[in-house]
Structure 1
Amino acid sequence: MSGDPARADLAAIFQAALGRVDPYKMIVDHLRLEGNRLVASFEGLCHDEDLDRYDRVMVLGAGKAAARMARAVEQVLGDRISGGLVVTKYGHGEPLERIELVEAGHPTPDDNGVNAARRIAALAEAACARTLVLILISGGGSALLCAPAETGDGAPSLADKQAVTAALLASGAAIGEINCVRKHLSALKGGGLLRLLAPARSLTLILSDVVGDRLDVIASGLTAPDPTTFAEALAILDAYRLRERVPEAVRLRLEQGAAGRLPETVKPGDPVLARATNCLIGTNRAALNAACAEAQARGYRPLPLTSTLTGEAREVAKALYAIARDVRDHDLLAAPPVCLVAGGETTVTVTGPGLGGRNQELALAFLAEMGRDPRRGEGIVLLSAATDGGDGPTDAAGAFAATEVLDRAQAAGLSVEAALRANDSYRFFDATGDLLKTGPTLTNVCDLQMILVR
């Protein structure tokens, strides 16, 4: 509960990680005006633009952190901004003065996202060689900026894209696989935005919500070359046995593209890339390092495990618990007190009718491992949480797992195994009082798993 020192430490460690990847602070600290030059410097990359070369500075963007990023850009550039439009998830807005803000549906696209995408496409097409376009991209941009491709006999509708997104999410497909399919159904993704912007110059600031920080995967690569193909998108549907279950227009478009009858996404070497600069401003690795620093300040020995954690949430939980148990029982890796920290993004293959997210499912599976431990998880406490504050289709960022949670569940007559079978982690932790609810954090760099071993 809230009075538990270990739980309080974990919440503080998570908050320190969020503070490190606050997009407002990162942009204000690393994007600056020097006379008439705009200078961007992030983790070794330094880029500057002579604003005297441009008649207009326009701002476009999409993602859960887009509004906060836009507010920071307004702080830096002020009245040099001639206009623009960013789209973010419902409830993730911030007050803006010079850049228009639209809120739309995520993770399933809606009409607001489609309309915003069309307007952004029109603004991009109106840009000329004397336009500098600042593009702000963060996690969620792929769903929020939904522009169904217009070409081909099998042009998909919004409803078609909603259906295929929902099917891929439920199948347990990784975000890179989902985005590969999205890119080949879109007019903007896979570098499509750059095609519309040409011949304008663009500087893109990117907050990564993708394991490995691949620019072609974050928000489906709006401003990056795309190494994937129509054939690969089709193969992903086949791998999850979805080809015959998705809308016919989706299947037809991907089949036409794979047969070479539709133009591919932007590939490396395309001339449109020459006037585009991509700048990665925040990553899961940065959040993980901040979590480790806060853990050390609180008296724990930090042990960063990885920032590229993937896999089924319940299988990852087993591995993490095994590591924590070895630390507790055998001083393996280090002697307690220890804080194990991992980052990345797991997946959940949904088979039950319940409610939850990948972090809550991981915490529930971790709790199941505690129940199998003869010491019932003594000395081990976990927090698994999404850095954007929204785990799956819920209002919780994640959940805690500890011996005390097992006790509360037992007292309430709750079964960990039954909740796992139903994929009902949210209702389980809601009943025990062990959800973490932060509200929208206005950042997004995947997830963190923090485990205290005492």
Structure 2
Amino acid sequence: MIRNREQLTKTPAHEVALDCIEAGIAATQPTRVMSEALERDGTTLTVDDATVDLDEYSEVVVVGGGKAAAQMAAVIEDVLGERLTDGVVVTNDPQETDCIAVVKGSHPTPDEAGEEGARRVLSLADDATADTLVLCLISGGGSALLPAPVDGVELAELQSLTDDLLASGATIHEINAVRKHLSAIKGGQLAAAAAPATVHSLLVSDVVGNDPSVIASGPTVPDESTYADALAVLDRYDITPAAAVEAHLDGGIAGNRPETPGPDDEVFEASRVHVLADGFTALAAARTVAEERGYTPIILSSRVEGEAREAAKTHVAIAEEALATENPVAAPAVFLSGGETTVTLDGDGSGGPNQEFVLSGALTSDSADVVVASVDTDGTDGASDVAGAIADHDALGDHDRARAALTANDVTPYLAERGLVVDTGKTGTNVNDLRVVVAGDPGTR
């Protein structure tokens, strides 16, 4: 899975960190979690904890989007077989399917192909009736891959705004509050289009806390955010949108267009949501591997957010405390965390939050016995084509240059030059960050 693993495996601590990363990504593979959640016995379809009688429906259709959507679609085709009527999903990682159309879109900035695919998803939902079973496949990246801008807003304007939001340091919750109010599909509007059909949404979560209204901007669940919330995000981060965007949001605040459907809306009466995998799924698998390798594993949190370089300092401090005082556990230990850290851009270089986490952590550490690793489980970290990085204090070389790279948000070239980036390619899944900090070596006990 890690294509340059041999280059990265320098010590037993490096090896266990890479083992943890691979185990976490493997545990969240869509084919694996979908196969575990879906079962068909004749006309009875089991979806997670729910059972569906297929004979109650005249048609079964599949819609959705996200980085894992194609893999999810392939599994559902195998399970449903001839009972599947039609389907379309949008992803940036396509694969061959028989019945379900797979549209390749762009992430993190939406493109024309994604817009066309989103329109096809909406059209299929619009055609659904009370006799339709709609299976909606949603995973991380769905917000960008299902753009469908509202009337009056051009895709180019949405692209520019998305770039500004991603560079601002805004949280995913804030970004999605804006996206929902500029889309015809997000914020419960896909469920509204499909009503009165029965909708079962199968989610691979890339959101801290698994709030389904945030995963891919919640196309099939109620939305409690408002036009005023969306405009407040733009004000908070001093983002000036295109005139058409501002006019649309102002019109919503003035009551000239309806809000996205909320918790009491009847369009959700026949809608169920199933979260099949999340960041903790990856952490639990990594914990098992660390324990098998002779380390004491500690999951610090699956909900770490904030500035990546600052979060790294706390993680490393905990590891060094374990080495120095045996608190909270004695080394050798592996400290794990998940969630989604961010980067506030001051430079225009190449990098991402996971690489900044590693570089900051290795710079912070005073011990050669601490190894810091972090990846985005989708295989692409920020504005780079690598998943993340792994390093210890001694691997960084010139620390002044390392700090300069961090200040300029240009960490990928610095880390790549030293053979410290983790290259997985696209993994087919996305449950956000997986961070591994190793303290000590079982062989030194």
* Contact 1:21–1:282 (CA under 8 A) maintained in structure 2: yes
Runs of 4+ residues deviating >6 angstroms = none
Looking at structure 1, the residues matched to 82 and 372 of structure 2 have their Cα atoms a distance apart, in angstroms, of: 47
Secondary structure class of the residue paired with 2:342: coil
Matched, 1:17 2:15: no
Looking at structure 2, the residues matched to 285 and 29 of structure 1 have their Cα atoms a distance apart, in angstroms, of: 17
Looking at structure 1, the residues matched to 279 and 55 of structure 2 have their Cα atoms a distance apart, in angstroms, of: 36
- 1:195 equivalent in structure 2: 192
- 2:382 equivalent in structure 1: 392
- 1:57 equivalent in structure 2: 60
- 1:448 equivalent in structure 2: 434
Query: Structure 1, unaligned stretches of length 5 or more?
Result: none
**What aligned pairs does 1:27-426 form with structure 2 within 5 A after superposition?**
27-41=34-48, 46-89=49-92, 92-150=93-151, 155-242=152-239, 245-370=240-365, 373=366, 377-406=367-396, 409-410=397-398, 415-426=401-412
Matched, 1:430 2:437: no
Looking at structure 1, the residues matched to 129 and 264 of structure 2 have their Cα atoms a distance apart, in angstroms, of: 21
Q: Structure 1 residue 414: deviation in Å?
A: 7.0
Looking at structure 2, the residues matched to 29 and 286 of structure 1 have their Cα atoms a distance apart, in angstroms, of: 13
Task: Output the TM-score relative to the length of structure 1.
Answer: 0.94
How many residue pairs are counted as aligned between the two chains?
Answer: 433
* Contact 2:16–2:293 (CA under 8 A) maintained in structure 1: yes
Q: Structure 1 residue 262: deviation in Å?
A: 1.4
- 1:439 equivalent in structure 2: 425
Compare 30-39 and 139-148 and name the one that shifted more: 30-39
* Contact 2:368–2:394 (CA under 8 A) maintained in structure 1: no
Task: Output the TM-score relative to the length of structure 2.
Answer: 0.95
Amino acid at match of 1:390: T
* Contact 1:363–1:383 (CA under 8 A) maintained in structure 2: yes
* Contact 1:414–1:428 (CA under 8 A) maintained in structure 2: no
Compare 100-109 and 25-34 and name the one that shifted more: 25-34
Secondary structure class of the residue paired with 1:415: helix
* Contact 1:171–1:349 (CA under 8 A) maintained in structure 2: yes
Identity percentage over the alignment? 44
Looking at structure 2, the residues matched to 437 and 290 of structure 1 have their Cα atoms a distance apart, in angstroms, of: 20
* Contact 1:57–1:80 (CA under 8 A) maintained in structure 2: yes
Secondary structure class of the residue paired with 2:97: coil
Compare 18-27 and 159-168 and name the one that shifted more: 18-27
* Contact 1:383–1:401 (CA under 8 A) maintained in structure 2: yes
- What per-residue deviation string (whole Å, max 9, x for no partner) do you get for residues 132-171 of structure 1? 1111000000000010112xxxx21101110111001000
* Contact 2:362–2:371 (CA under 8 A) maintained in structure 1: no
Q: Structure 1 residue 22: deviation in Å?
A: 1.2
Q: Structure 1 residue 404: deviation in Å?
A: 3.5
* Contact 2:177–2:230 (CA under 8 A) maintained in structure 1: yes
Secondary structure class of the residue paired with 2:269: helix
Looking at structure 1, the residues matched to 314 and 431 of structure 2 have their Cα atoms a distance apart, in angstroms, of: 22
Looking at structure 2, the residues matched to 60 and 414 of structure 1 have their Cα atoms a distance apart, in angstroms, of: 50
Looking at structure 1, the residues matched to 300 and 61 of structure 2 have their Cα atoms a distance apart, in angstroms, of: 41
* Contact 2:376–2:388 (CA under 8 A) maintained in structure 1: yes
Looking at structure 2, the residues matched to 439 and 58 of structure 1 have their Cα atoms a distance apart, in angstroms, of: 31
